[in-house]
Amino acid sequence: MTQLMVRQVTRRFGGLVAVNQVSTEVVSGRVLGIIGPNGSGKTTLVNLITGLYRVDSGTISLDGRDITYTFPHERTRLGIARTFQLAHPFVDLTARENIMVGALFGQGKSLGLARGIAAEVADLLALRSVDRPVSTLSALEVKKLEIGRALATQPRVLFLDEVMAGLNPEETRDLVALVGGLRDQGLAIGVIEHVMRVIAQVTDWVIVLNAGELIAQGTYDQVSAQPQVIAAYLGEEGA
């Protein structure tokens, strides 16, 4: 049973408080939704959890171990993985090689093991013809590849930062099913998504950020009915 705990985490950029005293947790077999208008601090929260950014205050722990100040590569080794909002595959490599990078450099596996892991991950994602260059992949395949690179590090906790953005309804269904499968395998998952239908379908618990603050949490049905949540999104529309 994996438990990632975030306690009162704050991060400032100059005068801007991007994440303000946010507490939450992600546990095995559950999907946490992280929602909120543009610029509300969703990606920054994931950057703090994965160690890309340092917190100004607050703590982060994984299974009781304090990881607040450990390096990103150490957190990867401990089992925390993420996709990036803007996918940046190595375009000169094939899909298979891109996935292998996660196993080789994320977990320090040998070339042979990395090959095996890449084959398993490609299977799991139903990513066909993985020996094609990345430039020939469809939009859905690029998203899957981004997830595959994260899965190749053999994570216990996985954050998906808007992986469904730009996909059509059928492709979205495909990825929603994939996320459900990963959850059923016991992964602890955090999902950032603007498409509320997706959040409604895949999450067990949702936190809502607005201007860096956690303004609501609960099931999707609970938070989507709260006036301060509706106001935050309406404010975005008017902006």
Ligand X SMILES: Nc1ncnc2c1ncn2[C@@H]1O[C@H](COP(=O)(O)OP(=O)(O)OP(=O)(O)O)[C@@H](O)[C@H]1O
Residues contributing to the site for ligand X (CB under 6 A)? 13, 16, 18, 36, 38-44, 85
Our CB check for ligand X shows the closer of 37 and 107 to be 37
Closest approach of ligand X to the CB of residue 161, in Å: 7
- Ranges within 181-210 binding Mg ion (CB under 5 A): none
Our CB check for ligand X shows the closer of 62 and 209 to be 209
Closest approach of ligand X to the CB of residue 19, in Å: 7
For Mg ion, the binding residue among 2, 43, 83, 224 (CB under 5 A) is: 43
In the list ligand X, Mg ion, none, the entry touching 44 (Cβ below 5 to 8 angstroms by class) is: ligand X
Our CB check for ligand X shows the closer of 18 and 150 to be 18
Closest approach of ligand X to the CB of residue 48, in Å: 9
Q: Are 22 and 6 in contact (CB under 8 A)?
A: yes
Closest approach of Mg ion to the CB of residue 36, in Å: 9
CA dist., res. 3 & res. 156, Å (int): 9
Please give the distance of CA 80 from its chain centroid, rounded to a whole number.
Answer: 10
Our CB check for ligand X shows the closer of 48 and 121 to be 48
Residue number of the CB closest to Mg ion reads 43
Residue 47 in contact with Mg ion, rule: CB under 5 A: no
Per-residue string for binding with Mg ion, 78-97, x by CB under 5 A?
-------x------------
Closest approach of Mg ion to the CB of residue 128, in Å: 30
Our CB check for Mg ion shows the closer of 11 and 96 to be 11
Our CB check for ligand X shows the closer of 89 and 212 to be 212
Closest approach of ligand X to the CB of residue 47, in Å: 7
Q: What is the 3-state secondary structure (H, E, C) of the chain?
A: CCEEEEEEEEEEECCEEEEEEEEEEEECCCEEEEECCCCCCHHHHHHHHHCCCCCCEEEEEECCEECCCCCHHHHHHHCEEECCCCCCCCCCCEHHHHHHHHHHHHCCCCHHHHHHHHHHHHHHCCCCCCCCEHHHCCHHHHHHHHHHHHHCCCCCEEEEECCCCCCCHHHHHHHHHHHHHHHHCCCEEEEECCCHHHHHHHCCEEEEEECCEEEEEECHHHHHCCHHHHHHHHHHHHC
Q: Which residues bind Mg ion (CB under 5 A)?
A: 42-43, 85
